[in-house]
Amino acid sequence: MVTGGNGGIGRGIALGLAQAGAAIAVLARNEAKNQHVMSELQALGVPALTVRVDVSARGELQPALEKVKRR
């Protein structure tokens, strides 16, 4: 799970982990950027998921974590 994994350093971390074979869940606010990084992750052939969430909004965290857990 990488918060802010759809841009900058977070994206680099998500892609690096994926290149190492890890399954990736990106938690970030911007849905367009989520979809872009999802395409990159899918091209690497690893299990991947993006969840639109604002990690500073406490009420959004538990549902996001549950979604990742279910997947």
**Interval 12-36: pLDDT, tens:** 999 999 999 999 999 999 999 999 9
Cα-based distances in Å from 5 to 29, 30, 59 = 10, 10, 20
Residue 12 has what pLDDT?
98
Every domain of the chain and the residues it spans: 2-56
36 closest CA partner among 64, 9, 11, 68 = 11
27 closest CA partner among 40, 12, 11 = 11
Residue 36 has what pLDDT?
97
Q: What's the mean pLDDT in 42-61?
A: 96
Percent of the chain surpassing pLDDT 90: 97
Residue 24 has what pLDDT?
98
| Reported pTM | 0.91
| Residue showing tokens 């872009």 | 36
